[in-house]
Amino acid sequence: MNYVFLIFDYTSIKGVNISKNQVFEKGGMSKSAYLKWGINNIYDIEKWSNYINIIDTMPMYKELKKNFSFLNRLGMNIADKLKVMSLAHIKIN
């Protein structure tokens, strides 16, 4: 049997709202660029199909923090704790 494996980032609903308020509006980006979808529990996508299986998930910045300034690491820690952005590894049968 063939499988498809995907690794992708996803944003929580809180992350979508933060992006709309902080990144797009304050950054002067067009409203057509808004994020329109977020998911708080990545395991909910397993309900879409019996063929979708979550293999793993992790906070977006978990492995990136060590090479940044204190303030950047602080922001990354907060984002990870609030589960604003994360990575998912899924298998589609």
pLDDT digits (tens, 9 = 90+) for 36-81: 789 999 999 999 999 999 999 999 998 887 889 999 999 899 989 9
Give residue 27's pLDDT.
Answer: 66
Domains in the chain, number: 1
* Cα–Cα distance measured from residue 17 to residue 12, given in angstroms and rounded to the nearest whole number: 9
Query: 34 φ, ψ to 5°?
Result: -60, 145
Whole-number Cα distances in Å, 62 to 57, 65, 81: 11, 6, 10
**Residue 85 CB coordination number (10 Å):** 20
Kindly report the pTM of this predicted structure. Answer: 0.77
Domain of residue 83 covers 4-29+37-92
Give residue 34's pLDDT.
Answer: 66
